[in-house]
Amino acid sequence: MSSRRTFIQSAITAAAGFAGASRLLGMNRPRTSGLNNSTSAPVITPDVKDLPFTIENGTKVFQLIAEPVKRKIAPWKTIDCWSFNGSCPGPTIQVNQGDRIRIVLENHLPESTAIHWHGLEIPYAMDGMPYLSQRPIAPGSRLAYEFTVHQNGTFFYHSHSPMQQMMGMVGLFILHPPRAHSPAVDHDFGIVLQEWAVLPSNSVPNTASMEFNWLTFNGVSAPMTTPLLARLGSRVRLRILNLGMDHHPIHLHGHQFVVTGTEGGRAPESTWYPMNTVLVGVAQARVVEFEAKYPGAWMIHCHLPHHMMNSMMDLLSDRQIQTADQTEEKAVGQMMSLAKSVPFEHVHPSPIAANAEKVPGFPQDAFMEMAMDEVVEQPETYGLPKNWSAGMMGMMTMVRVLPEKEYDEILARKKAAGAQTEHGHES
């Protein structure tokens, strides 16, 4: 679902100004978002697709397949995770408050599973709790979940087995209100936070580990995360969901936001106050909104220092890396050697002091910056300064607040690149 369509749609809706026109517009749209009104901007989940549906006797019918998949989470790291429909996190489900929906889960995993609809007020039999509300769904079998949604907000679906969760089995479940909340937003983005413990030269996450070396937004670590695009002066909503083992303080640069919702739905305006870091705890969603007032490529990232890094151990393979008695020559030599194996086009050491080697603790971040602009290039990165990717690592993305002309230029490039690059990071 492109931002451009959202904009055109918002503009037309504003001009038309009545629900009938909105419904007409909705009917002309391809059925991927599940929306039938244009008063809510569809949610865009960068690097993750929406789940399509069909309609049978007024019921929206979705098909989910639980299956293993290989997911490239960084240019030099592909992991074996468990997915829905080959997507990790699973495809985003978007429906309207009041919809009758049926979701058929087919289990292609080597073990039993079930799906829990997190936060939804639905009949007990649909709760997805193995042995309690249902029998586990055996490998090769399927089960239909069917219910009417009466809430609106940011919810999610996940396997109720903890280790399957840590293998990646979670997705966003967006319920749109009949009329957009006020103030209406121009851009609406979903971000799923996940953690992985994957040993060097391995591809299977260790779901029993308490120490994580890979941190992802929507299944990819920066700089592979697709930047969010916002028009200068627009109102932006971020729906941030955490299903991992750690809490993540998510920070936005250059702007203040307000928390307008949680995993329980919309928060009353009387509870809003300015912030720029929101703690998203495990199994929580935090919905934040801000006015994109200042042009720039503003970071959105977890502020835990170790969550702002990527593991480089895989690059080392069986080579030794030396961190003691380091000299610039040795350090640069090591980094050049690592970069060749990806390959990165460029190694970008920032300047160091002449006496650096005599300072206890050196080096810390020196030599660790590796620019890979061309490796992760896509329309959304167009126009960023050279070596922009050197400082992008871990749970990190950016919102590019762009003046009209630059915004349109990137949208034109996205259109030209077509659907292929729109989800180009999925493996």
Runs of H (alpha helix) within 162-240? 162-166
Q: Helix, strand or coil for residue 89?
A: coil
* Nearest to Cu ion of 200, 249 (CB atom): 249
Q: Which two tokens stand for residue 294?
A: 């200042």
Helix axes 19-28, 3-16, angle to 10 degrees: 150
Query: What minimum distance in Å lies between the beta carbon of 246 and Cu ion?
Result: 6
Q: Which two tokens stand for residue 119?
A: 């936060």
d(CA 365, CA 308): 12
* Nearest to Cu ion of 255, 307 (CB atom): 307
* Nearest to Cu ion of 115, 220 (CB atom): 220
Cβ–Cβ < 8 Å for 300, 252 = yes
Residues forming the site for Cu ion (CB under 5 A) = 248, 302, 304, 307
* Nearest to Cu ion of 3, 165 (CB atom): 165
Query: What minimum distance in Å lies between the beta carbon of 89 and Cu ion?
Result: 16
* Nearest to Cu ion of 49, 307 (CB atom): 307
* Nearest to Cu ion of 149, 170 (CB atom): 170
Q: Which of 342, 339, 361 is nearest to 352 (CA)?
A: 361
Query: What minimum distance in Å lies between the beta carbon of 304 and Cu ion?
Result: 4
Query: What minimum distance in Å lies between the beta carbon of 302 and Cu ion?
Result: 3
* Nearest to Cu ion of 91, 244 (CB atom): 244
Q: Which residues 6+ apart lie within 8 Å of 229 measured at CB?
A: 3, 187, 380, 399, 400, 402, 407, 410, 411
Query: What minimum distance in Å lies between the beta carbon of 254 and Cu ion?
Result: 20
Cβ–Cβ < 8 Å for 364, 378 = no
Query: What minimum distance in Å lies between the beta carbon of 180 and Cu ion?
Result: 31
d(CA 134, CA 123): 12
* Nearest to Cu ion of 113, 242 (CB atom): 242
Cβ–Cβ < 8 Å for 108, 169 = no
CA end-to-end span of the chain: 19
Query: What minimum distance in Å lies between the beta carbon of 274 and Cu ion?
Result: 22
Peptide bond into 305 cis (omega under 30): no
Query: What minimum distance in Å lies between the beta carbon of 300 and Cu ion?
Result: 12
Q: Which two tokens stand for residue 226?
A: 């697709």
Q: Helix, strand or coil for residue 318?
A: coil
d(CA 203, CA 197): 10
d(CA 355, CA 368): 19
Query: What minimum distance in Å lies between the beta carbon of 238 and Cu ion?
Result: 15
Q: How far is CA 286 from CA 186, 264, 265, in A?
A: 18, 9, 9
Query: What minimum distance in Å lies between the beta carbon of 82 and Cu ion?
Result: 22
Q: How far is CA 108 from CA 66, 159, 162, 207, in A?
A: 5, 13, 18, 19
Q: How many Cα atoms are found within 13 Å in the side-chain-facing hemisphere of 197?
A: 12
Count the neighbouring beta carbons within 10 Å of the beta carbon of residue 176.
27
Query: What minimum distance in Å lies between the beta carbon of 168 and Cu ion?
Result: 17
* Nearest to Cu ion of 186, 195 (CB atom): 195
* Nearest to Cu ion of 229, 299 (CB atom): 299
* Nearest to Cu ion of 302, 309 (CB atom): 302
